[in-house]
Amino acid sequence: MEKTASAGPAGGHPVARTRNYFIVLFVLFALLTGLSLHQEIRNVRRDRFRLAASTGRALFHTIVATRSWNASHGGVYVPVTEATQPNPYLDLPDRDVRTTGGVKLTKVNPAYMTRLVADVLNREGFAVHITNLKTLRPGNEPSEWERAALEKFAKSGVVEHAVLGPRGGRVFHYMEPLKAEESCLKCHGAQGYHVGDNLGGISVAFSFAPYEESAAVAVRKAVLTHIFFSGIVLAVLFFFGRRIVELVSSLNEARGEIRNLEGILPICSYCKKIRREGADPEDPSGWVPVDAYITDRSDARFSHGICPDCLKKHYGKV
């Protein structure tokens, strides 16, 4: 019984697998690029938040430095004006004095100086507020977020609190606690405070718009950078992927042709002709020479000659 070799598909599974590998590579690269961009945007926004917090921290410590300077002098005297009136909450016998020239002076303690400085800063876009959970002055009552910060200072001992308001004219809020010093107890000792206690806090609020504008510029730059480099990488992957798929397809076709030659061939025992696949064994046209059969199925080409044995056999001593 004769057996014939099956040619098999010319471009089968290896091509599909190679194509799928590159599709998966494309998807993975796109996901990694997206994750990288997402992380970059988060870093930009986090950095702008930290920068705003640094601004609030610097302003807070500047105010604290002025308070310490005031306290080191036991308060300072300034002329009484329409804008600077005597502090009704400063109960001291020497609060108001007159110079030898008759100019009326009033003592400005650290808390009052903070309010006066806050009025100046408010004109520059910074809202400064000194507050406490136990206030002496009605205007010092804490807002909702300030109360939450003060309670956090008292319970957990954190040293700062920063929050960002909702979108649409967003305002950045920063607050740190005030530590009671010896000079503070002249006014607050009656409230039960001791040196080192949290004596309320100072909050600073300002527009977050400049930081958001800076973040938007950085985000646009990050997006364009990611798009540019990912476009280059994807184009390279597409080019080489397409070439590799074509090479795999050609290789797969060549392997199919090789398999056609590797099978069991029906060959004549005498003339060595090969019967074409599917041809009738009784049909003479279905039988072709070996060289013609191989030439039809490959790029091989034949040249003809006579081997020594055949020369001797067929031509004798010629």
**pLDDT higher for 122 or 291?**
122
Q: Of 7-11, 39-43, 146-150, 247-251, which has the strongest mean pLDDT? A: 39-43
pLDDT band for 220, please (50, 70, 90 cuts).
very high
Longest dimension (CA), the chain: 153
pLDDT bucket at 264, cuts 50 / 70 / 90: low
* Bridge partners, 203 (sequence order): 129, 175
- Given a cut of 80, whether residue 167 has pLDDT beyond it is no
249 or 172: which leads in pLDDT: 172
Selection from 97, 101, 102 nearest residue 75 by Cα: 97
- Reduced to 3 states (helix: H, G, I; strand: E, B; else coil), residue 187 is helix
Report whether pLDDT(260) > 70: no
Q: Are 171 and 165 in contact (CB under 8 A)?
A: yes
Residue 11: pLDDT band (50, 70, 90) is very low
Would you report the helix, strand and coil content of the chain in percent, each value rounded to 5?
Answer: 55, 15, 30
With b for 16 or more beta-carbon neighbours within 10 A and e for fewer, the 97-134 pattern comes to eeeeeeeebbbbbbbbbbbbbbeebeeeebebbbbbee
Residue 224 has a CB neighbour count (10 Å cut-off) of 10
Which pairing describes strands 171-179 and 161-164: parallel, antiparallel, or unpaired? antiparallel
pLDDT digits (tens, 9 = 90+) for 226-239: 999 988 988 888 88
What is the pLDDT confidence band of residue 189, given thresholds at 50, 70 and 90? low
Please give the pLDDT value at position 317: 65
User: pLDDT-based confidence at 10, cuts 50/70/90?
Assistant: very low
pLDDT at 315: 78
Which residues does residue 173 pair with via DSSP β-bridges, in sequence order? 163, 205
Q: Is the pLDDT of residue 250 over 90?
A: no
Q: Is the pLDDT of residue 288 over 80?
A: yes
State residue 291 phi and psi, 5-degree precision: -65, -40
**305 Cβ contact partners less than 8 Å away, ≥ 6 residues apart:** none
- Give residue 313's pLDDT band: very low, low, confident or very high (50, 70, 90): confident
Within 157-289, residue ranges assigned H as helices are: 185-188, 209-262
Q: Find out whether 211 and 55 touch, Cβ atoms under 8 Å.
A: no
User: Could you tell me the pLDDT band of residue 132, with boundaries at 50, 70 and 90?
Assistant: confident
Count H helices and E strands in the chain, helices first: 7, 9
Within 10 angstroms of residue 80's Cβ, the number of other Cβ atoms is 15
How far apart (Å, rounded) are the C-alpha atoms in residues 77 and 108? 6
Structure confidence at residue 1 as a pLDDT band (50, 70, 90): very low
Pull the structure tokens for residue 251: 């290789």
Q: At which residue do the structure tokens 């471009």 appear?
A: 11
CA 130/CA 140 separation, integer angstroms: 6
Q: Encoding tokens for residue 298?
A: 């490959």
Q: How confident is the model at residue 2 (pLDDT cuts 50, 70, 90)?
A: very low
Q: Quick one: average pLDDT of 69-91? A: 87
For residue 8, name the pLDDT band (cuts at 50, 70, 90).
Answer: very low
| Rounded distance between C-alpha atoms, residue 171 and residue 168, angstroms | 9
Over residues 168-185, mean pLDDT: 80
Name the pLDDT band for 261 (thresholds 50, 70, 90).
low
Residue 300: how many CB atoms within 10 A of its CB?
A: 9
Q: Where are the domains of the chain?
A: 73-211, 265-318
| pLDDT band, residue 251 (cuts 50/70/90) | confident
Secondary-structure class of domain 73-211 per CATH: alpha beta
Q: Is the per-residue pLDDT at 188 higher than 70?
A: no
- Find which of 2-6, 193-197, 278-282, 311-315 is predicted with most confidence, using mean pLDDT: 278-282
Asked if pLDDT for residue 56 goes beyond 50, the answer is yes
